[in-house]
Chains A and B, each alone.
Chain A
């Protein structure tokens, strides 16, 4: 269905090729997963399928890409719209109209589909998406998971034979991600749609894949094959595969279910010991306290946060979890004084962040927002760091030293927008940490971050906690929460519904349990690292 023959891509003004010599054949009806580190060329590969590379992006494409027999050299993206459905990373940015129904019809209108056929397909697609009761809703008012499903539905109505998705579940909470993946699964099985998808959260998707396409980057050849074979050696792999490699299971399990079936001996062995991380470290003094906090957005029917009580102590890393829209970001912005509470109080080191001057604020509490790029506006990394030193009133070079500690071989002359996702997060973190705020807040730090990037983040956060900082981390990433946090707070509908040790909270709820916990349940192990440590000592 999709064929790449000796394909190379080089963007204008770039010294090296993004892709070269790609040979790839994806048969009809397969779900192929594209994996690789950030910046390795995954998006370029996906965009080459429907001709966005090079027709839209510019640059030079050598070799030949054919989809359903059509050569992308002769067909522009719009000429392939009836064969390839492309869903970009941010669904909201790709919406052309403003209601669900019109968005679903937009592609068909462009293709000139007859009105009665359009009407029928919209109804069918609403059923496939499970969104018939949301048909007249404004797209902007939908949850992130619903938006992603509408974006997929909007290309489905044109009945494409190939669906190309760039990180469809990265921004979603576990439940919404399940909905989207169930939809894709259904398309592959019922309609025979060929799906090509890039995703960093392998633990969510790898068990659905029929084929894995590995894009290693740095000019190394693109390879593809059976998931178990590919993942045995791939540099990126979900925890369940790492556990399988560690325990020497063969064939390598890709799903929790397969792993559980193989895990008998391991479970027995581990049941004799307890994970090293289970010993609770003594906590420091109270750093920040939230009392009876209620926050209401103007015009919203219900308050975003209701009567929240929360205490953060020095030396702890706390995960803040919950569905999209549960109030996580609101709580963070209240803690940093961006939002004035309706009721209740917030205090950080004894003072109310709303009343602090910006200059004093940066030395008490730092927030890395959901889009770390928001914090960065200088032209080079070096300038950015110098500005941060100046803002925080610390000796020159402080911020850059932190950045260089996080990113090896960093180039200070790069533009922040040219950094990879992980490097940009590191830079934003360095900028925030320059003032050494005792309270550090992070909003969805792993969105778009690959596994090495996550490892860097885990090590950094651990170091901060050891230095006596308190870290509050809003995240959907259960693996990250399991790896780095001591305590987890779960929000739902603006209320705290659970607040306890991470080990206790995530193992109690299947939606938040990391893969290792699911495999080894009922044993309380959370991460591969814990298991590895236990196996070394045993």
Chain B
């Protein structure tokens, strides 16, 4: 019981606890009345408190019981964290005596007392119960973030293969449906809506540029813009002139394609936590991953810093906008960001960052680094080969496979030397295969159609034609709806107002 004895005097609330000790109950009530009397000069206060003490206000009895029960619990469990428990009994007891004099304060203290009680109960596991102070949680979809990215890559590949607005609309609808069914409440879940808005801007820009400086297309003229005759070295570039319906429609198609790809990326960010995706990077790339994570957390801090410094400038009566304001804001914000990064580095160093890999600057490190770099470069070229129809076939899948292998060997070699372990890595199971597979099906459907029937994916605008709805891509893109049911529902925590 050594610790109990030592702990008792430590609480700043001990005198309060002694006020509600049942043996001294009448006396403390008079105490508090005396305080009121001296400071408030309110004789009614004494009467009320004495009444409480001797007439036995029911609130007091309740609080003593509460105190006693906490007290007993404390001893029976041998718990060491006394303060909140004492606080619970003590605060409620003391404050109830003040209810009549300071009703508003009493409300606060009773509130904080109860909170202390909940906190203590949760902390000690004495009385498990729901916390009343739940605020917005980070709902995490239980699916591996990589599965979502593969699914999205499938959709994006499909979108990049067609300018058919019907198919693009279908891809958008599928992505939107799955996002609305499986997105979380986290801040980044708003990325899809943002991507959609960005897409609208892209389409508008595309149409405006096509109208002003696009290649001339025959067909119905919508309006005539004043044109400029350019010198001979700029032949082929048009400025102004006739704006035809075909030119506008073509611009809309191409813009819609880009917007759809953007929306797919937005969908990925809505569905998968970008940081969790970074956590899945191989051990050899760990340092790079950390750098990106730190950069991600710095962006919001910079925004906060700018807000703070702009506020401070206003407080000093300085301009806080415009070019003159900018320099005054930028310097303190950068100062602050630098200080924070030094703090972060100190924290990471103290917690063992880079402990395993330090000192292993030998040949194996160099080899794994070189293999990874060459491999990843190869993967980039290979991906380009796969996506671009005009490149020689050898630059496509074969290169991609070979480069992937090289990069894999490099990553495994590099990962072996890192002494790190991973906490609760995301698993890859049936749902992940289904989600990733359904995206792949959509991509394959479009790629195959692109070879069999290129016209179906790229409707002609000269002459203007109503876009068709080819069967294979339409069916395969509908397969990509599967994650709306196949993926586990995100854990949405109720947002309870505290």
Contact = CB atoms under 8 A, between A and B. Distances in A.
Nearest to A376: B332
Interface in B51-90: 80-84, 87, 90
A242 interface: no
A499 B347 CA distance: 42
Contacts of A44: none
Interface in B2-49: 2-3, 6-16, 31-32, 34-36, 38-40
Contacts, number: 315
B416 interface: no
A90 B343 contact: yes
B6 to A, nearest CB: 7
Given A118-B423, A182-B82, A50 B350 contact: yes
Interface SS, B side: helix
Contacts of B345: 56
B495 A490 contact: no
Contacts of A189: 2-3, 6-7, 80
A383 interface: no
Contact of A498 (B13, B80, B105, B335): B105
A510 B12 contact: yes
A222 interface: no
A186 B120 CA distance: 13
A508 B35 contact: yes
B358 interface: yes
Nearest to B315: A367
A185 B9 contact: no
A523 B420 contact: no
B200 interface: no
A501 B12 contact: no
B135 A507 contact: no
B356 interface: yes
A228 interface: no
B38 A182 contact: no
B15 A256 contact: yes
Given A361-B314, A374-B312, A521-B15, A102 B423 contact: yes
Contacts of A114: 421
A142 B322 CA distance: 35
Given A52-B349, A130-B122, A182-B83, A369 B8 contact: no
B109 A509 contact: yes
B352 interface: yes
B352 A110 contact: yes
B175 to A, nearest CB: 25
B95 A518 contact: no
Interface in A18-58: 50, 52, 55-56
A490 to B, nearest CB: 6
B234 interface: no
A106 B351 CA distance: 8
Contacts of B112: 175, 323, 492, 511
Interface string B125-158: 1000011001111101000000000000000000
Interface residues on B, range: 35 or more
A367 B424 CA distance: 47
A107 B109 CA distance: 38
The A interface is mostly helix, strand or loop, or mixed, namely helix
A210 B371 CA distance: 56
A81 B87 contact: no
B238 to A, nearest CB: 45
Contact of B346 (A88, A98, A140): A88
Nearest to A372: B312
B297 A522 contact: no
Interface centre among A175, A302, A362 (most CB of B within 10 A): A175
Interface residues of A, number: 125
Given A112-B421, A185-B10, A98 B297 contact: yes
Interface string A83-109: 011101010011111110110011111
Contacts of A119: 423-424
B498 A369 contact: no
A77 interface: yes
Interface in B356-413: 356, 358
A118 B425 CA distance: 12
Given A93-B343, A130-B119, A362 B316 contact: yes
Residue among A98, A302, A337 with max Cβ neighbours from chain B (10 Å): A98
A129 interface: yes
Contact of A105 (B11, B94, B122, B424): B424
A95 B95 CA distance: 38
A183 B347 contact: no
Contact of B353 (A78, A105, A122, A185): A78
Contacts of B350: 50, 52, 77-78, 80-81, 84-86, 155
Interface in A129-147: 129-134, 136-138, 140-141
A281 to B, nearest CB: 15
A250 B132 CA distance: 46
A74 B435 CA distance: 51
Contacts of A102: 279, 423
Given A256-B15, A493-B498, A507 B39 contact: yes
Contact of A129 (B31, B123, B421): B123
Contact of B38 (A155, A274, A373): A274
Nearest to A417: B335
Given A137-B137, A138-B138, A301-B497, A358 B317 contact: yes
Nearest to B102: A508
Contacts of A366: 315
Contact of A110 (B311, B328, B355): B355
B131 A391 contact: no
A260 B15 contact: yes
A325 B201 CA distance: 39
A422 to B, nearest CB: 19
B95 A509 contact: yes
Contacts of B297: 95, 98
Interface string A282-299: 000000000000000000
A510 B106 CA distance: 12
B13 A510 contact: yes
A131 B109 CA distance: 22
Contacts of A352: none
A307 to B, nearest CB: 13
Contact of A99 (B40, B108, B138, B332): B138
B107 to A, nearest CB: 6
A453 B31 CA distance: 35
Contacts of B131: 133-134
A178 interface: yes
A197 interface: no
A110 B38 contact: no
Interface in B264-285: 275, 279
Contact of B102 (A108, A338, A359, A498): A498
Nearest to A375: B312
Contact of B83 (A129, A178, A323, A337): A178
Contact of B39 (A93, A108, A361, A524): A524
Given A78-B358, A369-B312, A500 B136 contact: no
A427 interface: no
B131 to A, nearest CB: 5
Interface string A140-178: 110000000000001100100000000000000011001
21 contacts: A55-B349, A78-B353, A93-B340, A96-B344, A98-B297, A101-B423, A111-B355, A119-B423, A131-B122, A132-B122, A182-B81, A204-B12, A302-B497, A362-B316, A366-B315, A375-B312, A387-B316, A492-B108, A503-B39, A504-B102, A509-B95
Given A110-B352, A110-B353, A504-B39, 16 more contacts: A77-B346, A78-B354, A93-B339, A93-B347, A95-B344, A96-B353, A98-B275, A111-B419, A112-B421, A133-B131, A181-B83, A186-B80, A186-B81, A255-B9, A509-B108, A510-B12
User: What are the 5 A-B residue pairs with the smallest beta carbon separation, nearest first?
Assistant: A130-B123, A94-B347, A81-B352, A105-B423, A110-B352
